[in-house]
Structure 1
Amino acid sequence: MNKPISFFQALLLFLFLFGCNPNPKNQEIESPTGFILKESDLPEYERDIDHKGLLTALGDRHDESIRTGEHIYNNICFNCHGNQEQVGSIPTAFKFWEDTFKVGKDPYSIYQTLTRGYGSMPPQVNLTPVEKYDIINYLRETYLQKDSSERYFEIDSTYLGGLPTGTTTGPAPKEFKPWAEMDYGNFLINTYELVGLNAPERERSSGPSPLPDENLINANYAYKGIAVRLDSGEGGVAAGNAWMMFDHDLMRVAGAWTGEGFIDWQAILFNGSHNISPRTTGDLHFENPVAPAWANPNTGKFDDPRFTARDKRKFGPLPREWAHYKGLYQYRDRVIISYTVGNAKVLETFGLETLDEQPVLTRTLNISPSEKLLKMRIAPSGTSVALVGEGAVLKNEGGFTVMELVPSSSLKIKILIAKSGMNGLQQYAKTSNPPEDLNLLIKGGPARYPQKLTTLIQQGSQEGPFQIDIMNPPFDSPWKNQFRLSGLDFFKDPNKGVICSTDGDVWMVEGFTKNSGKLSWQRIASGMFQPLGIKVINEEIFVTCRDQIVRLHDFNGDGETDFYESFNNDHQVTDHFHEFAMGLQADEEGNLYYAKSARHAREALVPQHGTLIKVNKDGLNTEIIATGFRAANGVCLNPDGTFIVTDQEGHWNPMNRINWVKKGGFYGNMFGYNPPADSTEAGMEQPLVWVDRERDQSPSELLWVNSKKWGALNGKLLNFSYGYGKVFVVPYETIGEQVQGGIYELPIPRFSTGVMRGRFNPGDEQLYMCGLSAWGSTQPQLGGLYRIRRVDQPMVIPVGIKATTKGIELSFTDELDARSVADTAHFTVKTWDLLRSRKYGSKHYNEQTLSVTKAVLGKDKKSIQLTIPDITPTWGMEIQYRIKDEDGKDLKGLIQNTIHQLGGN
């Protein structure tokens, strides 16, 4: 989209479409015509708009205009207005597919409504003329043109000739960057590349897969970078003008920079860019290379002992006995880093001072006694450095200014750093404030996000066995959150839960079970690195981030996180965009499990790429359980201690996979780390089912039903669809050691986001789900929260499947009509093969329609025996049926499954 809209313009349009009136009583505002603004109230340019030119130009920029209008609708309006399939969160909001425009249905009349406001619709004073006609164009083409009624207005030359003439198209649209306008708090963890004002062009490899590795050995990546804002002001890290970057793999300050813009926002979860990490913007005052900042206490050397990848770069944290990141405290807008060096404990914070109107960057360290001499690289030689405090000296060593500490003493040191050549820094150090006692700042402080936000629950009343409640988050939050929700869990009090978003937040949400019709939202954590899983264990909150598993601590009882404890940071993080850390589950002993994706279209660099990972309950050890995944979106922990991990179509994955995972198993991605020599199907574990892209573009996490209210589905297996916003039942069987089965879509509408995670609430025993649309989903809304309630209606859902040498046996939740089942014309069975290769995905091969020669209803009246003489193992099978339930109600259904082995008769 070449001309996106600004955040404030989008907000104004949201208010218009939302039906909100800032002056609800219309006191002396509404003109006699019904418009809120008189023509004399409008900007001068509105009196000289070339309406004919703007409408005519839509033909030349049709695709761009529709994309712009669609972008506005999907990201700002959809959550309230919905569409024909999904009811919006505000039932009274204008329904573009059926309601009648009050002013007029032609484009100019709709333009006047947008510009001047009408009734309860406020005027869009910040929406440009081009943007108004883009949204009008989208609404006309999407909702009006396809309508058989007379709501659609045909534009012809007579109409165009009658429009007001003018010479201008108004101001140019401004860019819409919600990722850059969000208040993340005063820190944001991510992978960053530090560059200066004259940064070289990014090296981007191309060609057939696997793509070759770029030469990034000299690039300064902070793979686990904590970007901290140094200057004061509102808006968080993105609104600052000065920053320090701390790399918690290496306990180094990677660099510091000043200027406008923070970063360039080039990343898949920022502006949607693939295969790229964000770069710093502005003036880089100093930087340190990708190497340990503290010398090994046992040797006094800075040699990097970490894992060396194929491209010669090193990844992962330093050994714990050398240095270890403990976490991050927050006090007001202050960030205090906690780590150890040897047996010494370190607290460190950053600041900004000035000398002759030039920035002086500060590092304040409180260090407990050490048994051994400690030394730390501060910056390359030539950088201006001075110390405030006692017990440390500066030396030049190996091209760096090194701080050497006196052992066996508690120290408080402040380091002053400025650009090379700054005069007077040593003299300034004599008058700079002494180093703070940081222990005063780690006990909790005032709430940073004191507002509790309230949203309404839209109660569903759909026909059938399930009703859907829409529980949208507060999209109008004061921090401009995007609410791309990626995980949820509940406390012992089932009315309370926690929800994380991939934008870095955790929210405490109340109101799930008290049926007040409202939810209360409190932002309790922010700034974390792409959270994609959350778990409450003994009332403590654990969050899966790309760089670590975080345990949240609230010291003063205000709900907000005062300490982001690094429960485990063994994660091997590279610069690649695709290596998401997905899901979080815990076994009865308290061990944690998550999945880590591999690099897209590239061979793995580190052992953790494409793996299922276990973290011991004490957080001290990480173990790889299984390998060979490409894009493993979450983990399901099975009652027998095994796991289910989904995977996505791509290279070496001819279709999406649902995998019943065994310890030590390899699951097919030959671009993974150290794959087996055998690249055939015999060299990998087979999936439970190959999920066809027509059924689901991208499966996410599975969940066992744990609810008596869900009747015959209690104890059954569900699969969530990130790609299409669906929920599936997974009927399966086990033959020998192979689990095989299929998927059946629940009879509910698609959700407006991709569905990521779900939990059954122990209080009301209903299913709660959250979702997002951020990469590779067809669903339009950025984020959403939903509840599926089981009601007292027959389900008639297939929950069991068996493949035998004679055919297929299907088991249902409810009784069926024998006569309709006996008609073999009511069943269609198709099969196909797939080709697994290094290429992306696979088309269908050897498609066949198998003859069903007999269909018999079982004695329980809930099972069907299909006789299929030509049945054989197959990659893909599709079973369609048209039958009746015991009450004569027509039923249509489709099961898509895989057969690896045929069982006995």
Structure 2
Amino acid sequence: MNVKFTAWYIPIIVLLFLACQKRTDKVSISDAARSGFILQESDLPDYEKNIDHKGLLQALGDRHGESMRTGEHIYTNTCITCHGNPEQEGSLPTAFKFWADTFKVGEDPYAIYQTLTRGHGAMPPQVNLTPVEKYDVIHYIRETFVSKENPAQYFNIDEDYLASLPEGTSRGPEPREYKPWEEMDYGNFLINTYELVDENAPPRERSTGPVQPLPDEDFGDANFAYKGIAVRLDNGPGGVAAGKAWMMFDHDLMRVAGAWTGDGFIDWEAILFNEKHNISPRTIGKLHVENETGPGWAHPETGTFVDPRFLARDGRRFGPLPKEWTHFEGLYPYENRLIMWYTVGEARVLETFGLDSLEHQPVFSRTLNIEPAEGLLKMRVAPLGTAVALTGKGAALAEENGFQVVNITASEPVKIKIFMAASGVSGLEEWAQSSDPPASLEQFTKGGPARFPQLLETNILQGEQEGAFQVDILNPPFNSPWKNQLRLSGLDFFRDRNKAVVCATDGDVWLVEGFTENKQTLTWQRIASGLFQPLGIKVIEEEIFVTCRDQIVRLHDYNGDGEADFYESFNNDHQVTDHFHEFAMGLQADAEGNLYYAKSARHAREALVPQHGTLIKVSPDGEHTEIIATGFRAANGVCLNPDGSFIVTDQEGHWNPMNRINWVEEGGFYGNMFGFDPPADSTDSGMEQPLVWVERERDRSPSELLWVDSEKWGPLNGKLLSFSYGYGKVYLVPFEKVGGQVQGGIVELPLPRFATGVMRGRFNQDDGHLYLCGLSAWGSTQPQLGGLYRIRMTEKPVHIPVGIQAQQDGILLTFSEKMDESSVRELANYSVATWDLLRSRKYGSKHYNEKKLTITAAELGADGKSVKLKMPDIEPTWVMEINYQLKSEKGDEVEGLVQNTIHQLGEAAAI
């Protein structure tokens, strides 16, 4: 018996069966939809309107064993993460407990089916589960948990119930392996790092082993387009992933790296797609044209093709060619065309690609509009043996050092078209002469018809949590017509705070409206696509800047329809290699207009380029890039401090015994000896110390920090927040500065865990609320792919420490509200433990020198908020954890934990 499973491929499947009204009949389900379902009936695929629910439920008896196996597989591979089981609580304490809780939608199978199908609250609709799979997991839950542990909630299926179900004749589509990265419509192009290979290429070699750093592979002969723009050439829906023919342009070198055809685009082996580590995607199919890695145009003064770029340790060269040689200016998407603009010397070049056919063989074309300037213009087309032809005036083909090249012979504007086909295709030159003349490309640079005309509307689920914070779920359009994964990685507001831009690491930028209108809906417009892993976004003077792995892009809308008509390469100094780990994270700007982002290093390997593991500054005009701090491993974003310094987080790994939050000064080295040109001193004294070492139990992976800038946040206004990508949490960061060293800790805000990791945040200056976006990828434990959230602070007390001081005789904690003195003085209400870590080339660290400190006295200060814990044995430590169980002045329970680091002890002071 063959059983196909799809659910375990779907990270977004989170069976959070959350609140709706209790179902008693079909009308109540419809009422519930209006009050909480994400999708309306009109949003569902047509097959959902003709499902034979009665037949599917009746069939469960005949296929009980198969259904239970399928349901168990879905539950144990996805659902258990959040929901857990009776023996082990899931990662989301608020997730529905089938063995104990009362169903709020309704306990019957059809009601649960509606929740799965249409989504509700924090649970997106499970559009990738087939009807059969939905009933399989429902069957497993009912028979495994509900009937045995929660029988009062077990719904008995009888003939009357079956007769009441909607009638239909279909069981929906067959279960299949779901690969959302393949099905998404990225638009007609997608920028990424690609390896170009012909069909039947040998398997890739990747170094492994227990000893780090891992040795470099021999990629000297590999054809990587590190900044590859893959362009679909054939017509049809679905974007680049659904094509049959493509051209690859490398904007580091201004070369066509290759052209290929086939039944599939790439093999999707990459962390962005199928989450495979240590690998880059390869082309699949027939590679008809290929150019080796090297400059596509000769130097305009010397005529040489010799590559002058940075030479890495492994013999490869990385980064863009010098600007005086050639410079990539950006892209003009126009319907299904893509126009590239770049310069060679002072000459301006517009270029686009096309596809024709000669006797059933594909012919690839390059149309170029060139405005010559002083200097030599010579372009490599393809190796000798490739079929090549040229039409247009002012240029000629020639042979040089094993390549066919085009020499621009005219001094006036030139329009030419180059045709290329595989070796062995004959008659190309004669055929080309009968083709259409080279087109004028300027007409496609002014803005064209909207490529994504649909405006999508989503609901805002208003949070009603008790306590100091309420969290609103601002659902992204999970059911978009382009099948976007919506892994949201950055947001920022315009001057009109009702509008924001949101980027997604899958390549999209969205214009979102409705934040401050209080209409409980948002409107989403897709305004850009195909970008290379955007992980930061910033609005500067109403212009949109996006941090991508290959460049900082500035988006321009020329015709006022909201969509970007020009993707300007504001800065493309990025040194990109094939390594999966070198993310470009975050984007901030200072008052002078300088931009800042962080670039991660290679994982378990030594750096190849100077930018690996750095904090990078870009000048206001985009012309200059400067490395201002080094030694990071996986730096997830940057926070710009009021004093001009920075905060950059880093992740546990090699030379990082634990996660760290770094208060960064220019010129500092922050510990990763696998970085480029590290200092000779590998001891702890040879690096800058972090503000705090963050244990994995507290935060598996910190992301970006943000200063609170809202009077509505009361005692937290002006304080520092840290976001957790690893656990979907938000922390406060109390800190102090002793002897020039910043030190402090983290305190978790009393919020429910988010369904995604939290990546970026911005305060809205109109409503004073905090907006967050997040994603789950890169091996995250969080269950949902992407999310957008709003945190509103109520007038209720928050009851957390907002200040910390390490003194020679103990710790001083300052709480947000006044505390009850009797509970403060009770020593049994505290416990304090410390331990050290060992920094080495090994991954992470176990605990060393574990101690429990004795508290001899606890005092409440005159302000009623300061609590001094006197500890005679206190000393500097890598990690301290302070647990407390107190009462507020008004009798509220105040329980929590501070995890902090002490580098130096300050002077003892009375409170």
Using the size of structure 1 for normalisation, the TM-score is 0.89
Q: Using the alignment, how far apart are the partners of 2:95 and 2:768 within structure 1?
A: 24
- The equivalent of 2:548 in structure 1 is 545
1:98 aligned onto 2:110: no
Distance change >3 Å, CA 67–CA 204, structure 1 → 2 = farther
1:801 aligned onto 2:804: yes
131-140 or 764-773, which deviates more: 131-140
Letter in 1 for 2:761: G
- The equivalent of 1:708 in structure 2 is 711
- The equivalent of 1:186 in structure 2 is 188
**Is the Cα–Cα contact under 8 Å of residues 399 and 405 in structure 2 kept in the other structure?**
yes
Identity of aligned pairs, percent? 66
* Residue of 823, 826, 851 corresponding to 1:823: 826
- The equivalent of 1:689 in structure 2 is 692
Distance change >3 Å, CA 650–CA 389, structure 1 → 2 = same
Q: Using the alignment, how far apart are the partners of 1:367 and 1:101 within structure 2?
A: 64
**Is the Cα–Cα contact under 8 Å of residues 306 and 318 in structure 1 kept in the other structure?**
yes
Q: Using the alignment, how far apart are the partners of 2:116 and 2:645 within structure 1?
A: 60
- How far apart are residue 882 of structure 1 and its match? 1.1
* Residue of 744, 748, 758 corresponding to 2:747: 744
1:212 aligned onto 2:215: yes
- The equivalent of 2:24 in structure 1 is none
Cα distance per residue 1:489-511 (max 9 Å; x no partner): 00111111100000001100111
Q: Using the alignment, how far apart are the partners of 1:113 and 1:558 within structure 2?
A: 36
* Residue of 870, 877, 880 corresponding to 2:880: 877
- The equivalent of 1:54 in structure 2 is 66
Distance change >3 Å, CA 150–CA 739, structure 1 → 2 = same
1:197 aligned onto 2:181: no
**Is the Cα–Cα contact under 8 Å of residues 72 and 137 in structure 2 kept in the other structure?**
no
Q: Using the alignment, how far apart are the partners of 1:199 and 1:724 within structure 2?
A: 40
Q: Using the alignment, how far apart are the partners of 1:246 and 1:679 within structure 2?
A: 41
Q: Using the alignment, how far apart are the partners of 1:397 and 1:676 within structure 2?
A: 45
Q: Pairwise mapping of residues 155-174 of structure 1 onto structure 2 (< 5 A)?
A: 173-174=175-176
Q: Pairwise mapping of residues 658-673 of structure 1 onto structure 2 (< 5 A)?
A: 658-673=661-676
1:70 aligned onto 2:90: no
- How far apart are residue 38 of structure 1 and its match? 6.2
1:232 aligned onto 2:244: no
**Is the Cα–Cα contact under 8 Å of residues 128 and 170 in structure 1 kept in the other structure?**
yes
1:427 aligned onto 2:430: yes
Distance change >3 Å, CA 746–CA 103, structure 1 → 2 = closer
Distance change >3 Å, CA 397–CA 763, structure 1 → 2 = same
* Residue of 835, 855, 858 corresponding to 2:858: 855
Q: Pairwise mapping of residues 642-661 of structure 1 onto structure 2 (< 5 A)?
A: 642-661=645-664
Q: Using the alignment, how far apart are the partners of 1:710 and 1:133 within structure 2?
A: 45
Q: Using the alignment, how far apart are the partners of 1:199 and 1:781 within structure 2?
A: 36
- The equivalent of 2:141 in structure 1 is 139
* Residue of 449, 459, 462 corresponding to 2:462: 459
1:717 aligned onto 2:720: yes
- The equivalent of 2:371 in structure 1 is 368
* Residue of 294, 297, 300 corresponding to 2:297: 294
1:447 aligned onto 2:456: no
Q: Using the alignment, how far apart are the partners of 2:100 and 2:561 within structure 1?
A: 43
**Is the Cα–Cα contact under 8 Å of residues 69 and 134 in structure 1 kept in the other structure?**
no
Distance change >3 Å, CA 849–CA 266, structure 1 → 2 = same
- The equivalent of 2:20 in structure 1 is none
Distance change >3 Å, CA 21–CA 348, structure 1 → 2 = closer
Cα distance per residue 1:847-878 (max 9 Å; x no partner): 11101111110011110111000000000000
Q: Using the alignment, how far apart are the partners of 2:276 and 2:9 within structure 1?
A: 20
* Residue of 591, 601, 607 corresponding to 1:588: 591
Q: Using the alignment, how far apart are the partners of 1:799 and 1:315 within structure 2?
A: 46
Q: Using the alignment, how far apart are the partners of 1:584 and 1:493 within structure 2?
A: 20
Q: Pairwise mapping of residues 202-601 of structure 1 onto structure 2 (< 5 A)?
A: 202-207=204-209, 208-601=211-604
How many aligned residue pairs are there?
858
- The equivalent of 1:160 in structure 2 is none
**Is the Cα–Cα contact under 8 Å of residues 66 and 137 in structure 1 kept in the other structure?**
no
**Is the Cα–Cα contact under 8 Å of residues 816 and 884 in structure 1 kept in the other structure?**
yes
**Match of 1:711, SS?**
helix
Distance change >3 Å, CA 129–CA 523, structure 1 → 2 = closer
Q: Using the alignment, how far apart are the partners of 1:126 and 1:494 within structure 2?
A: 35
Q: Using the alignment, how far apart are the partners of 1:72 and 1:560 within structure 2?
A: 38
Cα distance per residue 1:334-389 (max 9 Å; x no partner): 10000000110000000111112221111000000221221111011010000110
- The equivalent of 1:753 in structure 2 is 756
**Match of 1:523, SS?**
strand
**Match of 2:133, SS?**
helix
Letter in 1 for 2:138: I
**Is the Cα–Cα contact under 8 Å of residues 191 and 224 in structure 1 kept in the other structure?**
yes
- How far apart are residue 3 of structure 1 and its match? 3.3
Q: Using the alignment, how far apart are the partners of 2:437 and 2:81 within structure 1?
A: 52
Letter in 1 for 2:66: L
Q: Using the alignment, how far apart are the partners of 1:124 and 1:881 within structure 2?
A: 41
**Is the Cα–Cα contact under 8 Å of residues 346 and 365 in structure 1 kept in the other structure?**
yes
Letter in 1 for 2:645: T
Cα distance per residue 1:625-668 (max 9 Å; x no partner): 10000000000000000000000000110100000001111100
Letter in 2 for 1:188: L
Q: Using the alignment, how far apart are the partners of 1:508 and 1:565 within structure 2?
A: 18
**Match of 2:429, SS?**
helix
1:838 aligned onto 2:841: yes
- How far apart are residue 735 of structure 1 and its match? 0.7
Letter in 2 for 1:434: P
Q: Using the alignment, how far apart are the partners of 1:650 and 1:707 within structure 2?
A: 35
Runs of 4+ in structure 1 deviating by more than 3 angstroms, as ranges, are 5-11, 13-24, 35-39, 46-50, 61-74, 94-97, 100-105, 109-117, 123-134, 136-154, 169-173
Distance change >3 Å, CA 808–CA 104, structure 1 → 2 = closer
Letter in 2 for 1:373: L
Q: Using the alignment, how far apart are the partners of 1:243 and 1:85 within structure 2?
A: 47
**Match of 2:461, SS?**
coil
1:85 aligned onto 2:94: yes
**Is the Cα–Cα contact under 8 Å of residues 70 and 135 in structure 1 kept in the other structure?**
no
Q: Pairwise mapping of residues 119-138 of structure 1 onto structure 2 (< 5 A)?
A: 131-132=133-134, 135-136=137-138
Cα distance per residue 1:752-788 (max 9 Å; x no partner): 1100000001111111000000113221110000111
Distance change >3 Å, CA 234–CA 895, structure 1 → 2 = same
**Match of 2:138, SS?**
helix
* Residue of 602, 615, 622 corresponding to 1:619: 622
- How far apart are residue 710 of structure 1 and its match? 0.9
Q: Using the alignment, how far apart are the partners of 1:385 and 1:761 within structure 2?
A: 56
- How far apart are residue 213 of structure 1 and its match? 0.5
- How far apart are residue 826 of structure 1 and its match? 1.0
Q: Using the alignment, how far apart are the partners of 1:73 and 1:331 within structure 2?
A: 44
218-227 or 407-416, which deviates more: 407-416
**Is the Cα–Cα contact under 8 Å of residues 833 and 844 in structure 1 kept in the other structure?**
yes
Q: Using the alignment, how far apart are the partners of 1:554 and 1:729 within structure 2?
A: 39
Letter in 2 for 1:200: P
Q: Using the alignment, how far apart are the partners of 1:751 and 1:141 within structure 2?
A: 29
Using the size of structure 2 for normalisation, the TM-score is 0.89
- How far apart are residue 821 of structure 1 and its match? 0.7
**Is the Cα–Cα contact under 8 Å of residues 4 and 68 in structure 1 kept in the other structure?**
no
- Residue segments in structure 1 that go unaligned for 5+ positions in a row: 75-81, 89-93, 118-122, 155-168
- How far apart are residue 144 of structure 1 and its match? 3.7
**Is the Cα–Cα contact under 8 Å of residues 661 and 692 in structure 2 kept in the other structure?**
yes
Letter in 2 for 1:209: Q
Letter in 2 for 1:837: S
**Match of 2:248, SS?**
strand
830-839 or 46-55, which deviates more: 46-55
- Residue segments in structure 2 that go unaligned for 5+ positions in a row: 18-28, 84-90, 119-124, 157-170
Distance change >3 Å, CA 128–CA 734, structure 1 → 2 = closer
**Is the Cα–Cα contact under 8 Å of residues 7 and 74 in structure 2 kept in the other structure?**
no
